Amino acid sequence: PEIECKVVDPETWEEVPDGVNGEFVARGYNIMKGYYKMPDATFKTVDENGWLHSGDLLMRDERGCFVATGRLKDMIIRGGENISAREVDDDVMGWDQIVDHATIGMPDERLGERICLFAVPADPNGEELCLHDLLEYMDGKGIAKRLWPERLEVIDKIPRTATGKVQRFVLAKEIKHRMGIED
């Protein structure tokens, strides 16, 4: 009672219908008013109406239950289109030429970001991984072209936390380095 929760479009803050991904927001007596002596951090997290923006991507199902789908920070924004890095990761799973992978948004002057896949080859001494082969695999699975990576980067090991979560910020720094972009 007295706690409000909803899923909103991260750009417009308008509530989205059931079955649509968006950012989870909440307000009520149990929600913090802000960060102690950190007005900038508070401004980025709690809006003027008291809604706490969690940064978590969720969707509400037909029963009214919230289902976690990812993190807003893991969202790739290409030309105004939101693409879930997790969704691309799920689509690539099963490609037998790799043993591990992670998707990130790589910088792009015109579109803001593009899809980049870091992958660990199944046979490091074998044939070089090829973007064309990956796209052929995704096409064969019927994956929408808007979810196809535009760059494939080979890496020895995907950086992870002690709990196994992909450290996408490390990969973001790595792609900038490989593209010759200073941080």
Cβ-contact 96, 122 below 8 angstroms:
yes
Q: Averaged over 163-176, what is the pLDDT?
A: 92
For 77-93, how does the pLDDT look when each residue is reduced to its tens digit (9 = 90+)?
899 888 889 889 999 99
CA-based nearest residue to 60, from 20, 112, 97, 4: 20
For 83-136, how does the pLDDT look when each residue is reduced to its tens digit (9 = 90+)?
889 889 999 999 999 999 999 999 999 999 999 999 999 998 888 899 999 999
What does the pLDDT read at residue 183? 67
DSSP-H helix ranges across the chain: 39-45, 85-92, 131-140, 168-179
Nearest-angstrom CA–CA distance, 145 and 83: 12
